[in-house]
Structure 1
Amino acid sequence: MDSVNIKDIIGIGLGPYNLGLAALLEKAPELEAAFFDESQEFAWHPGMLIEEMDLQVPFLADLVTFADPTSRFSYLNFLHERNRMYQFYFFKKFEVPRNEYNDYLRWAIQKLDNLHFQSRVVDILDHQDANDPHYELVVEAVNNGKRTRHYARHVVMGTGSTPSVPQQLEGMPASDVVHTSRYLEEKENLLEAECITIVGSGQSAAEVFLDLLREQDRIGCHLALFTRSPGLFQLEQAKLGQEFFSPDYVDYFHSLGFEERNNTLEMLDKLRKGIDPDTLREIYNILYQKSHGGRKIPVTIQPLTEIKDIKKNRGGYQLTCHQWQQDKTFPFHTDKVVLATGYKPAIPDWFQDRFAAKIEWEDDKRFKVTRDYQLAFKQTRPNQFFTLTNLEHSHGAGATNLGLAVQRNVHIINNIAGREVYPNQRDTIFQQFTME
């Protein structure tokens, strides 16, 4: 393969994870890398960039700081270059406004020249028998369909997630039954409804409910929120609880057996799926203000309730709802539905075709991943295939945590470079999870 340029790393997908990898590679100049993403341009969850909503992690969980606080890609340097340091100082919040986090990521992208948008990876050929083992990536230009080939010794798959819609709610018009990933895109259309129903119990459901609650007096609609969970519970924010988002805990979690890991994820639900206390507080404050003088506000909030079916009815939709604790079913009429039903890993079609038979699986949907974020191949190989996607079962509740994403990239860079480019820090917390 002397006639082609074999890069050290090719990253697939350009969300915060691979973007952080690209930024941190600046201190490993011996590694040549390129990154491809099919999007027209970068936008971080554009459907949920609701004004006045913050990230649920501190600004230190940026692209680089946990590995290198001196990096030019830090959030503080972004503020400095934008002349916002004093404003952020007086802002006196540890959390980052979500819109500004999106601005920060776009700022970082402008500083890197090896990122390629409108470029969809449609296939990967595995050349392990060649004199110089490598991967061959087929990349299709989104605008004209032209295909090019690129070569890498190591691949990092960061294809993110895709909206998860319950089967019983599929097939409805996209303008009427809207996943939160498209909320802002459809918001003006939603505001024309007489009744809007939100389905879900997590942060996204609460944020959409709060945003529409603020609009309610102007638009005069009924708002409903149904969730099958036992209630709308706040995110666990105790300091010792937060230590579960640490490299030390990831080490412990990964050492457990598959069944034990799954059981542990359920025990950590309050750390993973709760709602920010400020969001819950604001919702309650608005409801309290609206209800003074004995006024009945047009709001329905009901936990313990699953949506079993949806059918068109009287210009809107009839939901078949089931209160599972009492085992009671009832109808509910609505004009629009917002699904805050989460996401599932986005695994490309070529992955199943090319690699499913070569790797080890923990069950029929979850592949085995090493502690260093490599796919576990049945036969060992020098050319690694790293994954940043579909890791919850292998690396725990912090698999989607932005702070731990930096530590994940430290593992990958040090592994490929064969040296300690960044310290892989341990003994970072006060707790321990095993006696050794």
Structure 2
Amino acid sequence: MTNHEVEVLAIGAGPSNLALAVALEESGSTGLANNTLILEQYPDVKWQRNLLLPFARSQVSFVKDLVTLRNPQSRFSFLSFLHAKGRLDEFVNLGTFNPFRRELSEYLQWVANNLDHVGIRYNAKGQSVAPRRADDGTVIGWRVTLTNGDTVDTRDLVVGTGRDANVPKEFAHLPADRVIHSTQYSTRIAQYPIDRPVRVVVIGAAQSAAEMFMAVHKDLPLSQPTLIHRSIGLQNYQTSKFVNELFFPSFVNEFHDSPAESRKQILEEIRLTNYAGLAAPFLDETYSMLYEQKLSGSQRSAVRSMTEVLEAREEDGEVVLELRDRRTGKTDTVRCDLVLLGTGYDQRMPAMVRHLAGQVGIEDIAVNRRYRVDLGESTRAGLYLQGFNEATHGISDSLLSVLAHRSHEITTDLLDRRTVSAERSL
């Protein structure tokens, strides 16, 4: 067991913290970049690791990569990646702003491999995070303990892990081998036998649910998939070029400066631009698949709209779902072998952040404009949250759209605080 000490420690080598790493490398502060470490629990970098499906595309323009909107000349841009890989001409010829998801994932690993100063430690899963305190009780830093017993001490902690998976209470008590959340799909489905019939129920009406519904036809060739969801029907994201301006990095200032009630209203009105919807081309593909089944006279799949799950239990070697039709109020039972949950993410702060906030006596977790939690003016330590701040920074906070600018703002705050500390010590 060893102890390592750094100035900045970032948990999770996803888009948020890789964008921060690039911003630090390009900030001119080589010293701080050299003293920054990213912890990644897996042996490599992958974006949406368990939904890297062959057909899946990014729903955000490649121009909104880790750096371009902040520094179009950066060597870390998506176009620089394509050039380095020898695919730039062919990608341009595709005529699309939406690359395959697996290509964006490859881009992230390429960025990680080409960092000169910021370090990444792979296979480093955090077991606990705790504040480090001075003799007077003020928080001066953080200690992350890894599952292998190693510890890492830092002054500033940046959490960019993504939200926790949302498993509705109706499914919480099913045996683990009977239910797969979308965050586990590819890994878990690959362990399932492909040589026997299996009745699969997919829960949800958003992109992840529809992607699993499509993918399981091939992944389990003898499966009979049914998609069940509460809404009136699968629908595309409700967006337009005018609405998309609310995803501009410049809109974050306007949103942050608005009264809390106004922010809440905006989020409610804009919700369907990012949640409970599908990309329009994929929606068409899904409908076409179902129509082709009907055309061939072999209806392998089914979609049940306006249906809610009242209860899920295991009984006699099967999963039993008690359902209610929202149109008629009638209930019925569906039996299946496997449940796939496309139910998204818990909208609360991640459990790790909530636990950490409790240790420092914070009840309501909120960040300032530069994404730093208020720990008190006398506190030397910093805690930055990336991707959890929709309530204060807008719906784009969990998306790729603001990565480049957010990383710049956090980097600026890190450097400004060190300048202030240096001046106070004179």
After TM superposition, the score normalised by the length of structure 2 is: 0.86
Query: 1:325 and 1:371, CA in 2 relative to 1: closer, same or farther beyond 3 A?
Result: farther
Query: 1:5 and 1:386, CA in 2 relative to 1: closer, same or farther beyond 3 A?
Result: same
The residue matched to 1:79 in structure 2 has which SS?
helix
Q: Matched residues in 1 for 2:234 and 2:359: separation?
A: 39
RMSD of Structure 2 on Structure 1 (CA): 2.8
Alignment pair present for 1:134 and 2:140: yes
State the match for 1:26 in structure 2: 25
Alignment pair present for 1:37 and 2:43: no
State the match for 1:10 in structure 2: 9
Percent sequence identity over aligned pairs: 26
Stretch moving more, 228-237 or 59-68: 228-237
State the match for 1:238 in structure 2: 240
State the match for 1:157 in structure 2: 159
Q: Report the alpha carbon displacement of residue 50 of structure 1 after superposing the two structures with TM.
A: 0.6
Runs (4 or more) in structure 1 with deviation over 6 Å come to none
Q: Report the alpha carbon displacement of residue 123 of structure 1 after superposing the two structures with TM.
A: 2.5
Q: Matched residues in 2 for 1:109 and 1:386: separation?
A: 21
Alpha-carbon displacement from aligned partner over 1:280-319 (angstroms, at most 9, x marks no partner): 01111222222226x3623321222111211223532210
Alignment pair present for 1:61 and 2:64: yes
Alpha-carbon displacement from aligned partner over 1:6-49 (angstroms, at most 9, x marks no partner): 74422122211001101121122422322223333323222111
Q: Matched residues in 2 for 1:37 and 1:346: separation?
A: 20
Q: Which of 201, 205, 211 is the equivalent residue of 2:209?
A: 205
State the match for 1:424 in structure 2: none
Q: Report the alpha carbon displacement of residue 79 of structure 1 after superposing the two structures with TM.
A: 0.8
Q: Which of 86, 89, 93 is the equivalent residue of 1:90?
A: 93
Q: Which amino acid aligns with 1:414?
A: T
The residue matched to 1:343 in structure 2 has which SS?
coil
Q: Which of 274, 278, 289 is the equivalent residue of 1:275?
A: 278
Q: Matched residues in 1 for 2:74 and 2:260: separation?
A: 37
Q: How does 1:148-227 map to 2 (within 5 A)?
A: 148-152=151-155, 154-188=156-190, 189=192, 191=194, 192-213=196-217, 218-219=221-222, 221-227=223-229
The answer to whether the 8 Å contact 2:238/2:273 transfers is yes
Q: Which amino acid aligns with 2:228?
A: F
Q: Which amino acid aligns with 2:93?
A: F
Stretch moving more, 268-277 or 110-119: 110-119
**Count of residues in Structure 1 that have an aligned counterpart in Structure 2:** 404
Unaligned runs of 5+ in 2: 418-426
State the match for 1:117 in structure 2: 122
Query: 1:149 and 1:383, CA in 2 relative to 1: closer, same or farther beyond 3 A?
Result: closer
Q: Report the alpha carbon displacement of residue 103 of structure 1 after superposing the two structures with TM.
A: 1.1
Alpha-carbon displacement from aligned partner over 1:387-428 (angstroms, at most 9, x marks no partner): 114212222211111021221111111222239xxxxxxxxx
Q: Report the alpha carbon displacement of residue 379 of structure 1 after superposing the two structures with TM.
A: 4.8
Q: Matched residues in 2 for 1:178 and 1:373: separation?
A: 33
Q: Which amino acid aligns with 2:409?
A: H
Q: Matched residues in 1 for 2:395 and 2:304: separation?
A: 27
Q: Matched residues in 1 for 2:387 and 2:378: separation?
A: 21
Alignment pair present for 1:413 and 2:421: no
After TM superposition, the score normalised by the length of structure 1 is: 0.84
The residue matched to 2:252 in structure 1 has which SS?
helix
Q: Matched residues in 2 for 1:104 and 1:146: separation?
A: 32
